[in-house]
Amino acid sequence: MTAPDTTILNVESSHYPPLLLRHPGNPILTRKDWPYSINSVFNAGATLLPDGTTLLLCRVEDRRGLSHLCAARSRNGVDGWQIDSQPTLMPDPKQYPEEIWGIEDPRITFVPELQQYAVTYTSYSRGGPGVSLALTKDFRTFERYGVIMPPDDKDSALLPRKINGYWALIHRPMTPLGSHMWISYSPDLRYWGRHRLMLEARRGAWWDANKIGLSPPPIETSRGWLVFYHGVRHTPSGCLYRLGLALFDLENPEKCLSRGDSWVFGPEADYERHGDVDDVVFPCGYTMDADGDTLNIYYGAADCSIALARASVGSLLAWLDANGSCERRQRADDL
């Protein structure tokens, strides 16, 4: 009997060099770290504060099943987290009825013109999830704008500067035609219009068929807005959440310059494969190191914990150059 030939497997796996490297200390935050009783912590927005502290605005789910947001701060973005002793932003259904079933999945954008952070989050209303906005200077007090995109809509982030004089919001409405990424514009962050389709979910057997959504806020590079998006594959044993890459024009962000065909990151580690919801990697935030290239990507793992992966912007762009295709920039040609 001959030994099984592993050459093919090795050659195959070397075709997929990892673009995102998991931190060996993963998961970096779990419910055991929390100063009060919770069910789980996951899907955190991220930003660097002026003194270099990493701030994560974490989605915390209590044992009713409802979520709120709680800030965790760390000098190195990996450990030594100082977690607010009480929820930082609670749903406020009396004044904001759309928050009756909780607030989830924040994305943070620092807006230089306002000298404030814009936090977009999912408000879980009786009519389904919608997009809400709050501004803050310090993650201690917040100015709520309420719901800015009605249900069914989520996975949203604000671009850090105006585009042709208008604020731009990426979001993911759900329609009978599928769940695609859209971009909308506003003169004042309150009134939104000029809605445009930005990136379509593919169809059929594709890893990103039927349902996609923005992951962290777009990353501004000299070549365009680099966007991680998640694709949801429906399988007989549940959904698989994976990440893909696309690049959009800096001054016309609804114009896709390139889209990768394959996913670049998916659930592999045990803490990603097994949890309250199996097989989910769900980043909502990143920070950039001082080198201007290294990204620290914070992602929810299996709706149970927060994990960290690092990637180089240069490598992600090089991967898109090698694997992206312009023909598929808006829609799959094989529909």
What are the residues binding ligand BMA (CB under 6 A)? Answer: 43, 104-105, 277, 280, 282, 300, 303
Cβ closest to ligand BMA, residue 211 vs residue 328: 211
Quote the CA–CA distance of 255 and 225 in Å, as a whole number. 10
Residues 300/59, Cβ–Cβ less than 8 Å: yes
Closest CA to 210 of 195, 189, 230: 230
Quote the CA–CA distance of 66 and 85 in Å, as a whole number. 18
**Cα dist. 40→1, 51, 186, 190, 309 in Å?**
50, 29, 35, 32, 20
* In the complex, minimum distance from the CB of residue 249 to ligand BMA, in angstroms, rounded to a whole number: 28
Closest CA to 91 of 47, 146, 39: 146
**Cα dist. 104→35, 99, 150, 267 in Å?**
19, 10, 15, 21
* In the complex, minimum distance from the CB of residue 271 to ligand BMA, in angstroms, rounded to a whole number: 14
Cβ closest to ligand BMA, residue 218 vs residue 231: 231
* In the complex, minimum distance from the CB of residue 39 to ligand BMA, in angstroms, rounded to a whole number: 13
Q: Which helix (H) or strand (E) holds 232?
A: strand 224-235
Residue 216: burial class (beta carbons within 10 Å; 0-12, 13-18, 19+): buried
* In the complex, minimum distance from the CB of residue 77 to ligand BMA, in angstroms, rounded to a whole number: 21
The two tokens of residue 139 are: 């993650």
* In the complex, minimum distance from the CB of residue 154 to ligand BMA, in angstroms, rounded to a whole number: 7
Cβ closest to ligand BMA, residue 154 vs residue 202: 154
Quote the CA–CA distance of 76 and 117 in Å, as a whole number. 20
Neighbours of 156 (CB within 10 A): 29
* In the complex, minimum distance from the CB of residue 16 to ligand BMA, in angstroms, rounded to a whole number: 24
Residues 68/84, Cβ–Cβ less than 8 Å: no
Please identify which residue in the block is written with the tokens 């009756």: 100
For residue 314, which phi and psi values (nearest 5 degrees)?
A: -60, -45
Cβ closest to ligand BMA, residue 105 vs residue 200: 105
Cβ closest to ligand BMA, residue 105 vs residue 153: 105
Quote the CA–CA distance of 214 and 171 in Å, as a whole number. 7
Cβ closest to ligand BMA, residue 34 vs residue 319: 34
Quote the CA–CA distance of 91 and 98 in Å, as a whole number. 9
* In the complex, minimum distance from the CB of residue 200 to ligand BMA, in angstroms, rounded to a whole number: 18
* In the complex, minimum distance from the CB of residue 181 to ligand BMA, in angstroms, rounded to a whole number: 14
CB-based closest residue to ligand BMA? 277
* In the complex, minimum distance from the CB of residue 303 to ligand BMA, in angstroms, rounded to a whole number: 5
